[in-house]
């Protein structure tokens, strides 16, 4: 008869060991959060959708004058999952241990090798999600409060436009969260860095002629697509620039021959 009580105990124990469900809409609590760069008025949202071993994460940082979004998915049953972060491929290993989700991510960012280690813990009352993040350069502790599911509308609703969010955007007709990617494309298209057009720390300033000229170029490029290609996105900065500041007017060897 002894075997029965043992079995009865074993079943609840096994159930108790099932991993927490982190699904929900979460918003960082600025007072309880400790980050290298304090959050201030920035709204920091995470939307987690967990189903079996797969955990999908959408992130939204909403400042008065900036916005950033990202998406990632992790599979705790796979040896590794890859995600794109700011145009770079990052490899993550996600594992559960004692109710805590660990996500170790490695890859390259702006030419540097980076390792990010995160530990996600759900409070016993399911109302608080704490993410401890070690970037190798510093440690952040982000305390998220559970929001009603209806708050997912911050992710699914119409996005704020760059012109309405940034201080001095006049030509670009894109959602605010896409501005960063557009700027990355400019640097790649011309083979330059941000400071070619911008004064460091004063991105809204029109001090540099290159930036003012770039605005004319945005207008021209948009005009070509509008007028010639019926509004389809066919011509970009890269089409002419090909990684150069000054596009070639004829093949390089011809230009060379003509100057001799
Ligand atoms: C080729 C020139 C050029 C390069 C290179 C460039 N930008 Fe810009 N940037 C612009 C122009 C032009 C605008 C304004 C666009 C408009 O008025 O529609 C702008 C606007 C911005 C703004 C909005 C600032 C505000 O509040 O008004 C930010 C932020 C920004 N750029 C960041 C960057 C970053 C970061 C990089 C490097 C990754 C970069 N830019 C590279 C030309 C450039
Ligand atoms: C149809 C071709 C074409 C497209 C498309 C184009 N450009 Fe240009 N761009 C040029 C040419 C040609 C020059 C050189 C002008 C000169 O030499 O005076 C130039 C010059 C520039 C310069 C000044 C470079 C310097 O060294 O002074 C900037 C900045 C620039 N372009 C930004 C952009 C951006 C940003 C885009 C996309 C929004 C873009 N261009 C799209 C043809 C193009």
> Model confidence over 82-112: pLDDT tens digits?
999 877 899 999 999 999 999 999 998 877 8
Four-residue CA torsion sign, 28, 31, 32, 37:
positive
Ligand 2 atom nearest to 236, measured from its CA: 5
Q: How confident is the model at residue 259 (pLDDT cuts 50, 70, 90)?
A: low
CA distance 105 to 199: 32
Measured by CA distance, the residue closest to atom 10 of ligand 1 is 211
CA distance 31 to 145: 11
CA distance 168 to 18: 51
Asked if residue 149 lies in contact with residue 24, where contact means CB atoms within 8 angstroms, the answer is: yes
Residue 9 in contact with ligand 1 by CB distance below 6 A: no
204-229 pLDDT tens trace: 999 999 999 999 999 999 999 999 99
Residue 1 above 80 pLDDT?
no
- Which tokens is 214 given? 């770039």
Short-list 59, 20, 58, 27, CA closest to 43: 27
Ligand that lies nearest to the alpha carbon of residue 221, given by its number in the listed order: 2
- Tokens 């930036």 correspond to what residue? 211
- Which tokens is 23 given? 């699904």
Residue 182 in contact with ligand 2 by CB distance below 6 A: no
Average pLDDT for 142-157 = 97
Residue 160 in contact with ligand 2 by CB distance below 6 A: no
CA distance 47 to 154: 10
**Average pLDDT value for the chain:** 91
pLDDT at site 94: 97
Residue 246 in contact with ligand 2 by CB distance below 6 A: yes
CA distance 250 to 257: 11
């Amino acid at each position: 008869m002894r075997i029965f009580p043992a079995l009865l105990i074993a079943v609840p124990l096994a159930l108790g060991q099932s991993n927490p469900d982190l699904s929900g809409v979460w918003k960082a609590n600025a007072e309880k959060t400790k980050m290298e760069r304090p959050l201030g008025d920035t709204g920091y949202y995470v939307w987690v959708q967990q189903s079996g071993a797969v955990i999908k994460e959408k992130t939204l940082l909403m400042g008065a004058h900036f916005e950033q979004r990202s998406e990632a998915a992790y599979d705790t049953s796979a040896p590794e999952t890859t995600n794109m972060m700011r145009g770079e491929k990052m490899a993550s290993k996600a594992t559960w241990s004692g109710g805590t989700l660990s996500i170790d991510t490695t890859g390259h960012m702006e030419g540097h090798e980076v390792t990010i280690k995160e530990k996600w813990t759900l409070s016993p009352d399911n109302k608080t999600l704490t993410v401890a993040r070690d970037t190798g350069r510093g440690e952040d502790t982000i305390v998220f409060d559970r929001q009603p599911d209806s708050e997912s509308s911050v992710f699914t609703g119409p996005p704020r436009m760059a012109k309405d969010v940034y201080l001095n955007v006049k030509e670009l007709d894109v959602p605010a969260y896409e501005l960063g990617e557009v700027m990355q494309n400019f640097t790649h298209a011309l083979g330059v860095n941000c400071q070619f057009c911008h004064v460091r720390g004063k991105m809204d300033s029109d001090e540099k002629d290159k930036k003012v000229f770039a605005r004319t170029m945005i207008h021209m490029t948009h005009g070509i697509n509008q007028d010639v290609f019926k509004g389809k996105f066919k011509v970009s900065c890269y089409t002419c620039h090909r990684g150069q500041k000054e596009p070639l007017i004829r093949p390089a060897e011809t230009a060379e021959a003509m100057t001799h």
